[in-house]
Amino acid sequence: MDLLSDGSVSDSSLEIRTKDNDNDDNDNDNDDTECQEEKEEEAINKNPRKRIRKGLVTIISSEEAPTDLFQRSVPHRRGHWSGHIFIPLTLNIPTIRAMRHSIHHFQTLLETQGYSGTVVQHSIYHISLSKYFSLQLHFIEPFVQKLRLLLSMEYISRIFFHPQQQQSPHILLNDDKTRSFWSWKVYPDTHLKKLVSHIDSILNEYDQPTYYEPPIFHTSLASFNGNLENFSSFPSPPTINDPTTESDDDNVDEDKSDSDDADSSSVIVVNQVVCQFGTTKSYTINLPPIP
């Protein structure tokens, strides 16, 4: 400390001391930050499932989703109706619960990787048998008649998927990569391939796009706005057209017992194919029983 002749303290001494205090405070702050980072890293190493959230993702139902949340992947053409062919799914309660748990897992993965936005939980589940296509109104009835005729040659069947084997669901994209889908794989059996073959033959007659080759059989649980092609937990994904997310029906089979094992194989009876145009025209084609 420097004393002046009158006994007062030198200003330069105070200034130097103040700077020293500031440096000490900065050192303490840096030590605290490093200590906190070490604690977080140690917690993650002890529990790999515990991850620090870097984003904020909310989950809403498809009924709650605003109409402008997703971009339209198929441009509207005046006088044309957007068509889609699929198998509607009726699932038991344990499978529905497993799907909802999977969607929350999707939310956590997005947040820990720095994504923010909205996950739309689909209200109905189905297996697509076609891409989206477009027909003029006067072609719809002849198209459906041909579809009924060809599908009448196929019978009711069963398909399977295992909830416990869906720990790494697929991230699929629509064709223009503006929407990503959290999806479960479905086993590609011969019956599904035959259905697609019949449908493709009719789509070819109308100069419409056929299904993917090889087929990507799946059911989409939820969707997220944007391209998750670089989602680090998954390889570069294939692309799909937008599945329908609107719902007028409850696709949960309430007659199934809650005691069913959620980890057991889910057996889905394929007895119907739906051909839908827009939101107002829907044609249900019942498959004949096995003779």
Neighbours of 211 (CB within 10 A): 22
Neighbours of 279 (CB within 10 A): 10
Whether 185 is covered by a domain: the verdict is yes
Q: What is the pTM of this model?
A: 0.70
Run of H or E including 158:
strand 157-161
Whether 4 is covered by a domain: the verdict is no
Whether 211 is covered by a domain: the verdict is yes
Question: What token pair was written down for 193?
Answer: 């391939």
The predicted-structure confidence for 5-50, as pLDDT tens digits, reads as follows 454 444 444 343 444 555 555 555 555 545 555 555 555 445 545 5
Q: How many domains does the chain have?
A: 1
Question: What token pair was written down for 8?
Answer: 């007062």
pLDDT value for 30? 52
Q: Are 188 and 137 in contact, with CB atoms under 8 Å apart?
A: no
Whether 168 is covered by a domain: the verdict is yes
Question: What token pair was written down for 141?
Answer: 């009835």
Domain that holds residue 148: 62-286
Eight-state DSSP code of residue 185:
E
Among 61-75, 108-122, 154-168, 253-267, the range with the most confident prediction by mean pLDDT is 108-122
The predicted-structure confidence for 120-166, as pLDDT tens digits, reads as follows 999 889 999 999 999 999 999 999 999 999 999 999 998 877 665 55
3-state secondary structure of 172: strand
Whether 48 is covered by a domain: the verdict is no
Whether 229 is covered by a domain: the verdict is yes
E-state strands within the chain: 57-61, 80-88, 117-121, 126-128, 133-136, 157-161, 170-173, 179-185, 218-225, 266-270, 272-277, 281-286
Whether 37 is covered by a domain: the verdict is no
Q: SS3 sequence, 199-260?
A: HHHHHHHCCCCCCCCCCCCEEEEEEEECCCCCCCCCCCCCECCCCCCCCCCCCECCCCCCCC
Measured between alpha carbons, how far is 263 from 71 in angstroms, rounded to an integer?
36
Whether 49 is covered by a domain: the verdict is no
Measured between alpha carbons, how far is 118 from 138 in angstroms, rounded to an integer?
38
Q: Say whether the peptide bond before residue 214 is cis (omega within 30 degrees of 0).
A: yes
What amino acid is encoded at 105 in this protein?
H
Measured between alpha carbons, how far is 120 from 67 in angstroms, rounded to an integer?
12
CATH number at residue 280: 3.90.1140.10
